C-alpha cells in the first residue's frame, strides 16, 4: 500500500478539490459534507526539479533519518521526478559502496517490502557519492561540476538543497565554502537552500556568532534550522488543536489555566554519545530547542496566518517573554545505576567517554514564568531526562478548579481539576479529564476522561519524522524551521542558568536511580507550589486524577 505521509494534511489542503483518500474501516476525520478547511494557500506546494546535497553522507543521521525519510517521500510521490541526491563525506567510498551501505541500514530497519524496494530503486538511480573535505575549496569546485552534470541531465534545473548533516563545528566552514564557490547564489530560476542540523550554538554568544557568520553568505529565507520535534505530526497538531477549534481558545489564558507541565522523558541513556553529552547536558540538549518549541506552540498568540513568518514571529515573542530563569527554579540531576524497563543500567559516570567525576546533568526540571498579559502568574513546569521510568513526551494543561461551595453539604470532599493532556509520543493523542456523577442515590464524583487516539482515526504513517521537514524545505515552506531570532530568544532565556550552573559545577546535582521518575528535588520544586508532576508512564491510563 502506498501510504500518503501527508495524508492528514492532504484533507486540509484539498479544499474544493478531490476528497481526501480514506482507509477503509477507519473513521472519518471530517464529518460527511463538512467543508474542508484550507490551512493556508498551498498552491505551488509540489516540489520543483532539484538536487539535494548531503554533507555528512556517511554519518548516522543520514543513514537513520535523512535517507529513510527520502524513501518515504518517494513512496508518497512527493519528490520531483527530476531529482538528484549527492552525498559528500570524508570517507573514500564509491557511489556503489555508498548505496550499498545505505541499503544495508534500510534492511536492518525491516523496511523491505515491494513498494519500499521500488522506492529504493527509484532513489538509488539518483544517488551519487563524492569524497571531499568540508573545509577544502577543491571539494566545492568538484561539487559544482557534479551539480552541473546533474542539472544537465535534469533539463537545467538549478535548484539545490544543501543538507548539513555534520558535526556543528562544520556548519560555519561549509557555509563559507558554499559562499566562496558561488554555490549559495540564487537567481530568478534557481533557489539555493541550506538545512542546518542541531545543535545551533551551545549558548547565546555562539548562536549569535553562527547566525552572523552564515548570514554573510545566506539570506534568512535560505536558511532552514532544524528542530526535529517540529517534524512530528503531534507537534504540528498543537496549532490545529488551538486554532481550528472554537472551544479551547476562550479558556486559554490565566483566568482559566492553573499551570502547564511539559515532559520529555526518555528511557535511553546517552547511547555511546558520552563525549558529545559531556559537553552538552540535558539543559542544552533538550530545553532551548525541543521543549521550548512545545512551550512556544502551547503559549503563543494566534498568528495572523499560517505563513512561515507570521507563525514564527508569534513563537519568538512567546520565548522572548520568558522570565530569566533563576537557579532556585531549576533542578539538575544525574542518573545512577538502576533498572530501566527490566534491564540493568549502569550509572552515567560509567558510560564510555564520561568522566568518573562528571557533573553533567542528565535530567533537568524548571519552573518558568511568561511575562505577558495572557500568562502572567501561570507557571510552566518543564522537565526532561535520560534513563527514566518510561518514554513519554506530553503536555498537560491543568485548568483552575471549579468553586467547591456547591458541594459543601455533599459527601464530595474535593473537586479534581480538569486536565487537557496532549500525548506527543508514544501513544499519540489527547485526553480531557473531568468529573462525572457516580450512578447512585448520593452525590459522589468520579474522574473520567474523553480520549482521542491518533490510531483510532488515522492510518499509521510510514515516517521517521523528517519527511515533512525535507518536503517543506523543498517547497520553500519555512514554518517548521527555526528563525534566527527564535534560536537567539531561546538561548537568551536559559543563558543565566547556564552561567550559574557553570560557576557552581555539580554543587546541586541531584542523583536519581535509572528507571525512576527523576530526582526527589524535582518533586519538591513543584510541591512547594502545592502541585505535583503527572506520573511518567508510556501507555496512558484513561483517567489520571489531578494532584
Ligand atoms: C535529540 C537529542 O535532539 O533529541 C537526544 O540530542 C534526544 O539526546 C532526542 O534523545 C529526542 O528526540 P525524540 O524524537 O527521540 O524524542
pLDDT at residue 5, as a whole number: 40
Kindly list the protein residues whose Cβ atom lies closer than 6 A to any atom of ligand 1.
198, 228, 266, 285, 393
Tell me the average pLDDT of the chain: 88
Does this model's pTM top 0.85? Answer: yes
Q: How far does residue 169's CA lie from ligand 1's centre (Å)?
A: 19
Q: Whose CA is nearest to atom 8 of ligand 1?
A: 285
pLDDT at residue 39, as a whole number: 35
Spatial separation of the C-alpha atoms in residues 169 and 199, rounded to whole Å: 10
Least confident of 41-50, 118-127, 135-144, 476-485: 41-50
* Residue 47 pLDDT level (bands cut at 50, 70, 90): confident
Q: How far does residue 393's CA lie from ligand 1's centre (Å)?
A: 11
Stretch 47-76: mean pLDDT = 93
Q: Which helix (H) or strand (E) holds 242?
A: helix 233-243
Atom index in ligand 1 nearest the CA of residue 229 equals 14
Spatial separation of the C-alpha atoms in residues 336 and 511, rounded to whole Å: 6
Q: Which helix (H) or strand (E) holds 54?
A: strand 50-55
Give the start-end residues of each E strand in 56-196: 83-89, 127-131, 160-164, 192-196
CA gyration radius, the chain: 25
pLDDT at residue 15 above 60? no
Mutate to test the pocket of ligand 1, among 290, 387, 388, 426 (most ligand atoms within 8 A of CB): 290
pLDDT at residue 543, as a whole number: 62
Q: How far is CA 450 from the centre of its chain?
A: 26
Atom index in ligand 1 nearest the CA of residue 465 equals 14
pLDDT at residue 546, as a whole number: 67
pLDDT at residue 491 above 60? yes
Stretch 97-104: mean pLDDT = 91
pLDDT at residue 110 above 70? no
Spatial separation of the C-alpha atoms in residues 168 and 134, rounded to whole Å: 12
Q: How far does residue 290's CA lie from ligand 1's centre (Å)?
A: 8
* Residue 540 pLDDT level (bands cut at 50, 70, 90): low
Q: Whose CA is nearest to atom 9 of ligand 1?
A: 286
φ, ψ of residue 465 in degrees (nearest 5) = 95, -5
Q: How far does residue 272's CA lie from ligand 1's centre (Å)?
A: 14
pLDDT, one tens digit per residue, over 449-486 is 999 999 999 988 778 889 999 999 999 999 999 999 99
Q: Which residues are catalytic?
A: 290
Please list the alpha-helical segments (H only) found in 414-459.
Answer: 454-457
Spatial separation of the C-alpha atoms in residues 300 and 322, rounded to whole Å: 12
CB of 285 within 8 A of CB of 405?
no
Q: What's the CA dihedral at 541, 543, 544, 547 to 10 degrees? A: -170
Coil, strand or helix at 217: coil
Atom index in ligand 1 nearest the CA of residue 270 equals 8
Q: How far does residue 296's CA lie from ligand 1's centre (Å)?
A: 18
Q: Whose CA is nearest to atom 2 of ligand 1?
A: 285
Mutate to test the pocket of ligand 1, among 285, 362, 388, 482 (most ligand atoms within 8 A of CB): 285
Coil, strand or helix at 487: helix
Stretch 46-67: mean pLDDT = 93
pLDDT at residue 410, as a whole number: 84
pLDDT at residue 85 above 60? yes
Q: How far does residue 386's CA lie from ligand 1's centre (Å)?
A: 10
Q: Whose CA is nearest to atom 15 of ligand 1?
A: 266
Mutate to test the pocket of ligand 1, among 266, 351, 362, 391 (most ligand atoms within 8 A of CB): 266
Q: How far is CA 370 from CA 134, 255, 327, 422, in A?
A: 42, 14, 17, 20
Q: What share of the chain is helix, strand, coil (3-state, %, to 5)?
A: 35, 20, 45
pLDDT, one tens digit per residue, over 372-382 is 999 999 999 99
pLDDT, one tens digit per residue, over 185-196 is 999 889 999 999
Spatial separation of the C-alpha atoms in residues 251 and 378, rounded to whole Å: 13
CB of 177 within 8 A of CB of 171?
no
Q: How far does residue 185's CA lie from ligand 1's centre (Å)?
A: 33
Question: What cell was used for 512?
Answer: 536519581
> Which residues, other chains included, contact 324 with Cβ-Cβ below 8 Å and sequence gap of 6+?
493, 496
Q: Whose CA is nearest to atom 5 of ligand 1?
A: 285
pLDDT at residue 291 above 70? yes
pLDDT, one tens digit per residue, over 136-183 is 999 999 999 999 998 888 776 799 999 999 999 999 999 999 999 999
> Which residues, other chains included, contact 546 with Cβ-Cβ below 8 Å and sequence gap of 6+?
398, 416, 417, 419, 433, 447
For the residues of 528-545, what is the DSSP string, one character each? TTT--PPP--SSPPS---
Atom index in ligand 1 nearest the CA of residue 273 equals 8
Which residues pair with residue 385 across a beta bridge?
265, 363
Amino acid at each position: 500500500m502506498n501510504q500518503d505521509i501527508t495524508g492528514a494534511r492532504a484533507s486540509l489542503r484539498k479544499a474544493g478539490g478531490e476528497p481526501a483518500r480514506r482507509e477503509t474501516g477507519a473513521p472519518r476525520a471530517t464529518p460527511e459534507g463538512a467543508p474542508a478547511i484550507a490551512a493556508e494557500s498551498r498552491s505551488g506546494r509540489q516540489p520543483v526539479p532539484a538536487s539535494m546535497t548531503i554533507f555528512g553522507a556517511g554519518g548516522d543521521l543520514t543513514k537513520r533519518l535523512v535517507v529513510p525519510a527520502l524513501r518515504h517521500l518517494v513512496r508518497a510521490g512527493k519528490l520531483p521526478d527530476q531529482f538528484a541526491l549527492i552525498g559528500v563525506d570524508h570517507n573514500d567510498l564509491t557511489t556503489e559502496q555508498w548505496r550499498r551501505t545505505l541499503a544495508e541500514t534500510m534492511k536492518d530497519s525491516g523496511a523491505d517490502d515491494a513498494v519500499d524496494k521500488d522506492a529504493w530503486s527509484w532513489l538509488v538511480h539518483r544517488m551519487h557519492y563524492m569524497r571531499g573535505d568540508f573545509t577544502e575549496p577543491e571539494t566545492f569546485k568538484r561539487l559544482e561540476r557534479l551539480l552541473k552534470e546533474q542539472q544537465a541531465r535534469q533539463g537545467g534545473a538549478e535548484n539545490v538543497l544543501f543538507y548539513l548533516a555534520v558535526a556543528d563545528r562544520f556548519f560555519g566552514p561549509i557555509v563559507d565554502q558554499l559562499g566562496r564557490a558561488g554555490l549559495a547564489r540564487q537567481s530568478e530560476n534557481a533557489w539555493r537552500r541550506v538545512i542546518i542540523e542541531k545543535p545551533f550554538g551551545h549558548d547565546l554568544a555562539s548562536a549569535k556568532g553562527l547566525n552572523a557568520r552564515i548570514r554573510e553568505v545566506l539570506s534568512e529565507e535560505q536558511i532552514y534550522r532544524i528542530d526535529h520535534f517540529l517534524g512530528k505530526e503531534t507537534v504540528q497538531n498543537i496549532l490545529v488543536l488551538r486554532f481550528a477549534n472554537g472551544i479551547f481558545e476562550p479558556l486559554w489564558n490565566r483566568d482559566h489555566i492553573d499551570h502547564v507541565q511539559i515532559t520529555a522523558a526518555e528511557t535511553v541513556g546517552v547511547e555511546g554519545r558520552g563525549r558529545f553529552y559531556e559537553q552538552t547536558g540535558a539543559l542544552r540538549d533538550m530545553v532551548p530547542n525541543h521543549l521550548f518549541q512545545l512551550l512556544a506552540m502551547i503559549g503563543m498568540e494566534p498568528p495572523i496566518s499560517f505563513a512561515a513568518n507570521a507563525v514564527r514571529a508569534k513563537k519568538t515573542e512567546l520565548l522572548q517573554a520568558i522570565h530569566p530563569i533563576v537557579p532556585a527554579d531549576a533542578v539538575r540531576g544525574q542518573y545512577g545505576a538502576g533498572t530501566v524497563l527490566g534491564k540493568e543500567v549502569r550509572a552515567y559516570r560509567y558510560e564510555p567517554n564520561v568522566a568518573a567525576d562528571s557533573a553533567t546533568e542528565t535530567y533537568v526540571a524548571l519552573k518558568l514564568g511568561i511575562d505577558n498579559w495572557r500568562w502572567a502568574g501561570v507557571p510552566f513546569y518543564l522537565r526532561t531526562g535520560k534513563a527514566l521510568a518510561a518514554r513519554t513526551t506530553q503536555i498537560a494543561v491543568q485548568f483552575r478548579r471549579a468553586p467547591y461551595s456547591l458541594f459543601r453539604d455533599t459527601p464530595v470532599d474535593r473537586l479534581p481539576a480538569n486536565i487537557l493532556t496532549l500525548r506527543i509520543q508514544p501513544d499519540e493523542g489527547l485526553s480531557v479529564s473531568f468529573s462525572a456523577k457516580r450512578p447512585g442515590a448520593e452525590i459522589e464524583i468520579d474522574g473520567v476522561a474523553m480520549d482521542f487516539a491518533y490510531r483510532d482515526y488515522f492510518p499509521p504513517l510510514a515516517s521517521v519524522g523528517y519527511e515533512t521537514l525535507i518536503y517543506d524545505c523543498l517547497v520553500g515552506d519555512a514554518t517548521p524551521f527555526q528563525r534566527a531570532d527564535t534560536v537567539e530568544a531561546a538561548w537568551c532565556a536559559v543563558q543565566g542558568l547556564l552561567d550559574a550552573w557553570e560557576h557552581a559545577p555539580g554543587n546541586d546535582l541531584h542523583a536519581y536511580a535509572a528507571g525512576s521518575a527523576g530526582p526527589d528535588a524535582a518533586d519538591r520544586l513543584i510541591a512547594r507550589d502545592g502541585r505535583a508532576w503527572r506520573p511518567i508512564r508510556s501507555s496512558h491510563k484513561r483517567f489520571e486524577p489531578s494532584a
